[in-house]
Structure 1
């Protein structure tokens, strides 16, 4: 019997998990993480091969979310980069 997956269930937000940011359901793998890997040049198949607990449907759902909500995800990525830079400077001072 064929299993049907409602693609609307593949990406979720849960307060207290991944900062409430969108993530792949049943994992702590965020859409941001998938976006970064994709921007680094990895294909969906390569991401699944690297992270074998994910499947293609999950990765494509995350990529679809990213492309449909690019501004949101890019804002999160910019915030994380700014925090990284702040910590680097803080570490250099100490």
Structure 2
């Protein structure tokens, strides 16, 4: 498969799917997610919003509990809307990792 064959399919994606595709491609270059980082010894090495101690799984779980994005931005004043977008995309791509983190923290 080449880019010419992929182009119509890529252009037909929804905006969030396009963002997800971009993140996947970027990850394939350097295995880093813009705005998301894992640091050994920080929050158990789980994926966090860059330069914070806010784990992605915490945001995902809060969202599931009905907390709105506006409320999350108010509760976590250092977060930006872009941080939430990065977290949602990361959580979608790494759904198993996020589910495990949520389960582990519910057991503690």
Give the TM-score taking structure 2 as reference length.
Answer: 0.65
Residues 44 and 60 in structure 1, CA contact (< 8 A), matched pair in contact too? no
Residues 12 and 24 in structure 1, CA contact (< 8 A), matched pair in contact too? yes
**More displaced 10-residue stretch of structure 1: 14-23 or 34-43:** 34-43
Matched, 1:27 2:61: no
Cα RMSD for the two superposed structures: 1.4
- Structure 2 gaps of 5+ residues are 1-22, 24-32
- Structure 1 gaps of 5+ residues are 1-6, 84-94
2:100 alignment counterpart: 75
What CA distance in whole angstroms lies between the structure 2 residues aligned with 1:46 and 1:58? 14
Counting matched residue pairs gives 77
What CA distance in whole angstroms lies between the structure 2 residues aligned with 1:56 and 1:62? 10
Give the Å deviation of 1:58.
Answer: 0.5
